[in-house]
């Protein structure tokens, strides 16, 4: 509306105003609403409503499912590439960190989405910029940095802390299990709520903070609507069901696998070995069926997974794994402390060297298994 700034709207004819209203792309932002007010004053409320309905339909302000997914995919790819570069440069440092490396990926991801979706970058990460999306408040203003960081933390914390092992927390403790259940439940219900919540497409983090992800090319001369109650109610019911289910499964699993408690002290000793980032130990049963026969055989075995701080497996052979001091020490601990050795068919040891920072990971493995007697002979 090039000449509209030089004269008042009252100076335009009805035909001119209607023509301008039907071509919103030629009008500066904020001008269209003023034109609608003037047309209503002149008795064109019905025509204005028709134009607004048409604009809402052809230029929806709310983001679409596919565009949100595309923006997220682009952002995740960019974070993954950045993580790979960091991994190449700092592999040994990340490996020494063990699960603490997840804090690196968490910090990078939180900063990327926190600053990118804030007013500093006009509410647009790289992905949102490419697909023409923006994060805004209900009045179309962009988010402050701290509000954007809080919004981003709601969905980044469950992802990075689902498998994060907090120092001093046993993996069998109620606090650790509770943390995992809450994170897993949130990661499941988050996309469910987002898919169900039409037309605003507010995810849970948007709902909590009153934010929206809008189409920058959409018709923005209308107030942003409120999310419907039904999707949130259904999501809450699903969340309660999942939490109850996970708690029940955990109780059943504990009752069935009381032997796990016996392995906790052994795991603690292996964790304290030099150059061990962390370990996992479990008793398992494998079943095999002979080809052409209905006979099923079962084998009981102990599985020891050891994550290394240093690369001790480069050039090593599975047949000589006992020559690695950590394996030798770990097997000695098991042979000395585990009371159910006579019920085992074999012990499997798996060494892993690598890193996991959440946005990128890389690992090398070395695995070997022997019967209890064979391990005794090897470490003598």
43-57, 90-104, 267-281, 366-380: which has the minimum mean pLDDT? Answer: 43-57
pLDDT (0 to 100) of residue 172: 65
215-226 mean pLDDT: 76
Averaged over 311-325, what is the pLDDT?
85
Q: What is the pLDDT of residue 371?
A: 92
Per-residue model confidence (pLDDT) at position 209: 92
pLDDT at residue 41 greater than cutoff 80: yes
pLDDT at 106 exceeding the cut of 80: yes
Query: Tokens at residue 175, please?
Result: 């606090």
Please state the rounded mean pLDDT for residues 160-189: 79
Among 24-33, 306-315, 335-344, the range scoring the smallest mean pLDDT is 24-33
| Percent of the chain's residues with pLDDT above 90 | 42
Q: pLDDT category, 5, cuts 50, 70, 90?
A: very low
Q: How far apart are CA 48 and CA 35, in angstroms?
A: 9
pLDDT at 354: 93
Instruction: Tell me what the pLDDT averaged over the chain comes to.
Output: 84
Quickly list DSSP for 241-289: HHHHHHHHHHHHHHHHTTHHHHHHHHHHHHHTSTTEEEEEEEEEEEEEE
pLDDT at position 25 over 50: yes
Please state, in angstroms and rounded to a whole number, the distance separating the CA atoms of residues 69 and 112. Answer: 17
At 4 the pLDDT is 45
Using the predicted structure, report yes or no on whether residue 211 has a pLDDT greater than 70.
Answer: yes
Is residue 143 helix, strand or coil?
strand
- How, if at all, do strands 133-137 and 296-308 pair? unpaired
**118, pLDDT greater than 90:** yes
Q: Which residues pair with 368 in a beta bridge?
A: 349
What pLDDT is attached to residue 57?
Answer: 66
Distance (Å, rounded) from C-alpha 282 to C-alpha 267? 9
- In 273-300, which positions are buried (b, 16+ CB within 10 angstroms) versus exposed (e)? eeebbbbbbebeeeeeeeeeeeeeeeee
| pLDDT of 357 higher than 90 | yes
Strand 133-137 to 211-215 pairing: antiparallel
Nearest Cα to 128, choosing from 202, 38, 67, 198?
Answer: 67
Mean pLDDT of 99-105: 93
Higher local confidence (pLDDT), 314 or 77: 77
Confidence of residue 260 (pLDDT cuts 50, 70, 90): low
Lowest mean pLDDT across 192-196, 304-308, 327-331:
192-196
The sign of the dihedral angle between the CA atoms of 250, 256, 258, 261 is negative
CA distances (Å), 340 to each of 38, 256, 259, 330, 378, in order?
Answer: 87, 16, 9, 16, 20
pLDDT of residue 339: 86
Q: Is the pTM here over 0.85, yes or no?
A: no
In this prediction, residues 310-314 reach a mean pLDDT of 89
Extents of the domains making up the chain = 4-58, 65-255, 259-379
pLDDT (tens digit, 9 = 90+) per residue, 197-210? Answer: 887 888 889 988 99
At 230-259, the pLDDT tens digits run 677 777 778 778 777 777 666 556 555 545
pLDDT at position 8:
77
Q: Is the pLDDT reported for residue 373 higher than 50?
A: yes
d(CA 282, CA 260): 7
Q: What is the pLDDT of residue 250?
A: 66
d(CA 244, CA 4): 62
Contacts of 195 (CB under 8 A, 6+ apart): 65
Predicted pLDDT at 252? 56
* Residue burial 249-269, b: 16+ Cβ < 10 Å; e: rest: ebeeeeeeeeebeebeebbeb
Q: Which of 2-11, 56-65, 184-193 has the highest mean pLDDT?
A: 184-193
Other residues' Cβ atoms within 10 Å of the Cβ of residue 239: 19
Residue 160's alpha-carbon distances to 78, 125, 168, 258, in angstroms, are 17, 20, 18, 29
The 10s digit of each residue's pLDDT in 119-166 is 999 999 999 999 999 999 988 899 999 999 999 999 999 999 988 887
């Amino acid at each position: 509306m090039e000449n509209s700034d030089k004269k008042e709207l009252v100076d335009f004819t009805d035909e001119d105003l209607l023509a301008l209203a039907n071509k919103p792309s030629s009008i500066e932002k904020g001008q269209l609403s003023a034109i609608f007010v003037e047309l209503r004053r002149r008795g064109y409320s019905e025509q204005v409503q028709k134009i607004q309905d048409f604009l809402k339909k052809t230029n929806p302000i709310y983001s679409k499912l596919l565009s949100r997914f595309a923006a997220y995919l682009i952002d995740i790819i960019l974070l993954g590439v950045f993580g790979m570069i960091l991994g190449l440069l700092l592999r040994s440092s990340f490996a020494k960190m063990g699960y603490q490396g997840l804090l690196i990926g968490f910090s990078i991801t939180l900063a990327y989405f926190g600053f990118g979706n804030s007013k500093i970058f006009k509410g647009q990460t790289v992905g949102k910029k490419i697909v023409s999306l923006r994060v805004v408040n209900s009045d179309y203003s962009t988010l402050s940095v701290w509000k954007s960081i809080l919004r981003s933390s709601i969905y980044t914390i469950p992802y990075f802390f689902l498998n994060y092992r907090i120092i001093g927390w046993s993996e069998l403790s109620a606090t650790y299990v509770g943390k995992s259940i809450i994170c897993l439940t949130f990661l499941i219900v988050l996309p469910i709520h987002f898919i169900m919540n039409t037309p605003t497409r507010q995810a849970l983090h948007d709902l909590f903070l009153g934010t929206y992800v809008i189409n920058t090319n959409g018709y923005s001369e209308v107030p942003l609507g409120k999310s419907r109650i039904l999707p949130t109610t259904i999501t809450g019911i699903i969340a309660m069901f999942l939490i109850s289910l996970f708690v029940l499964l955990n109780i059943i699993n504990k009752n069935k696998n009381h032997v796990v408690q016996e392995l906790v002290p052994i795991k603690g000793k292996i964790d304290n070995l030099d150059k061990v980032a962390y370990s996992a130990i479990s008793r398992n049963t494998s079943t095999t069926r002979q080809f052409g026969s209905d006979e099923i055989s079962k084998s009981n075995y102990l599985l020891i997974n050891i994550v290394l701080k240093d690369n001790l497996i480069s050039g090593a052979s599975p047949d000589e794994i006992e020559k690695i001091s950590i394996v030798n020490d770990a097997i000695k601990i098991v042979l000395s402390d585990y009371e159910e050795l006579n019920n085992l068919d074999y012990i499997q040891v798996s060494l892993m060297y690598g890193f996991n920072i959440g946005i990128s990971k890389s690992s090398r493995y070395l695995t070997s298994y022997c019967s209890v007697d064979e391990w005794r002979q090897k470490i003598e």
